[in-house]
Structure 1
Amino acid sequence: MNKRILVVTLLIGVVLASCSAYQFRERWTKEQAPETFKARFETTQGNFDIEATRSLSPKAVDRLYQLIRRDYYKNIAIYRVVPDFVAQFGIYNDSLYNEMWAEYKIPDEPVKQSNESMTIAFARGGVETRSTQLYINLKDNKRLDTLQWSGVKGFPVIAKVVEGEGVVRKFYSGYGEAPGKEQGVIQSKGNTFLKDKYPKLDYIEQAYILK
């Protein structure tokens, strides 16, 4: 390959990588949420609104606020919908962006409100693993309040669906747990993989803070 072409090719690669990296700023993880706030999620089934309460889990609500403000929940699959259990989402299509947010884990906090129907919490797989994935309870899942999971107890509620429960209950659930077992592939291949293998999934098109 011509040296000039090689140099140009390398420069393009660096620029593209920088563009992706530029989407993320560490200072965003320092932002504090209001004591309460509402946000709207526009989905392929319609809109639903949530209300978050910071006192329930301050660090987690701060992260939710940060993620919504920075357009994290945009064109993102509701990839795990288990009837009479939960609807889960939060693996971003751009794996670099996802990995950057995931580096800043949310400190563990106690459960202060029960996992009742339509409440929302961060998913986690052990000590200080909450980062970007959320689930909506599709029924009263009070056992999640005290469930011991890889060294940590319970899943702290951070918000609740206050408008659009009917929308949430329409999310496609025919795949059950299957997509949830492929989280690593989803993170590396994104929506291309999901739309090919699980074409009926619903998506969050965008989310934003309501004033």
Structure 2
Amino acid sequence: MSRALPYLASLAIALFCVLFMTVLPDSCALADPTDVACFGSQASCPCTSALQDPLPTTPPDNYQVVFQTDVPGCIVLNVTKSWAPIGSDQFYNLLIDEFYTVSGGAAFFRVVPEFVVQFGISGSPDETTKWNSPIQDDPVVKSNVAGTVSYATAGPDTRTSQLFINLVDNSSLDDSGFAPFAAVTQGMDIVNAIMNPTPGDSNGVDQDLYTQQGDEYIEANYVGKINRILNVTILV
């Protein structure tokens, strides 16, 4: 963490959370919430009122992200800018723009067992369109081992908002230019429990229709068959 709260302030925050906040499962527990911001209205956030300062507008070198899902449970990511600076900054900006939480929450729209879980199409078509401008690739400095997070691509310099979590050691992807920028530090059991919305079809849901129609497409076709991100908490 970038700063430490004085002892009395930390104690006061802890007491506030115990008395007034919904107690989250162990997989959602967060340590030392110095700077905290929460996005999404469908789930409670840990220590929301403990925010000491607004989140920095400049993407930080390291930060933590908690995805609260309807699996149910939380997935905690540690983002390390030095692994992939361009991808890390893009992810931070997507988060603070509420890309993954608007209009029902972004769905985990592709699950390939023993390979990857993919997400990153917004529930809002306008939001997906807004972030459709690709960013340049980062050099691969971290291998795609189990639990790491990389951008999905359609070729060189085509990264936008779609991400995948490696379910197994996929280091064979390294030579194809997939550059991890984060790693799951808690909740791989939640990742592995994410429903496969298209059993027998490794392509996942129709990405064109999901992009065009957003959450309406998910609601019309995959209720009870797909999982989503309900809430995002960022810690800097």
TM-score range, shorter chain: 0.7 to 0.9
1:65 to 76, 92, 98: 92
Per-residue deviation, residues 20-59 of structure 1 (Å, max 9, x unmatched): xxxxxxxxxxx54211110100100211110000011101
> Could you tell me the TM-score, scaled by structure 1's length?
0.78
**Structure 1, 180-189 or 73-82: larger mean CA deviation:** 180-189
SS of aligned partner of 2:212: helix
| Distance in 2 between residues matched to 1:63 and 1:203, nearest whole Å | 21
1:56 counterpart residue number = 83
| Distance in 2 between residues matched to 1:38 and 1:196, nearest whole Å | 33
Matched ranges for 1:58-207 at <5 A: 58-74=85-101, 75-103=105-133, 105-147=134-176, 154-173=177-196, 175-176=198-199, 177=201, 180=204, 182-199=206-223, 200-207=225-232
Asked if the contact 1:40–1:47 (Cα under 8 Å) also holds between the matched residues in 2, the reply is yes
SS of aligned partner of 1:157: coil
| Distance in 1 between residues matched to 2:234 and 2:91, nearest whole Å | 10
Amino acid at match of 1:38: Q
The unaligned stretches of length 5 or more in structure 1 are 1-30, 148-153
SS of aligned partner of 2:214: helix
Asked if the contact 2:197–2:204 (Cα under 8 Å) also holds between the matched residues in 1, the reply is no
Asked if the contact 2:111–2:202 (Cα under 8 Å) also holds between the matched residues in 1, the reply is no
Q: CA RMSD in A?
A: 1.5
Per-residue deviation, residues 90-139 of structure 1 (Å, max 9, x unmatched): 11121121111112x22111111110001001111012110101100000
| Distance in 2 between residues matched to 1:178 and 1:142, nearest whole Å | 19
**Structure 1, 89-98 or 131-140: larger mean CA deviation:** 89-98
Per-residue deviation, residues 54-107 of structure 1 (Å, max 9, x unmatched): 01110110011111122111111001011101111111121121111112x221
Per-residue deviation, residues 146-196 of structure 1 (Å, max 9, x unmatched): 13xxxxxx2000000001111111100251445636111110112222233
Structure 2 vs 1, CA of residues 178 and 140 (structure 1 numbering), >3 Å: closer, same or farther?
closer
**Greater C-alpha radius of gyration:** 1
| Distance in 2 between residues matched to 1:137 and 1:178, nearest whole Å | 15
Q: Higher helix proportion, which one?
A: 1
Q: Higher strand proportion, which one?
A: 1
| Distance in 1 between residues matched to 2:146 and 2:209, nearest whole Å | 30
> Could you tell me the TM-score, scaled by structure 2's length?
0.70
Amino acid at match of 1:198: Y
| Identical pairs, percent | 33
SS of aligned partner of 1:87: strand
Structure 2 vs 1, CA of residues 137 and 114 (structure 1 numbering), >3 Å: closer, same or farther?
same
SS of aligned partner of 1:121: strand
Runs ≥4 residues deviating over 6 A: none
> What count of residue pairs does the alignment treat as equivalent?
174
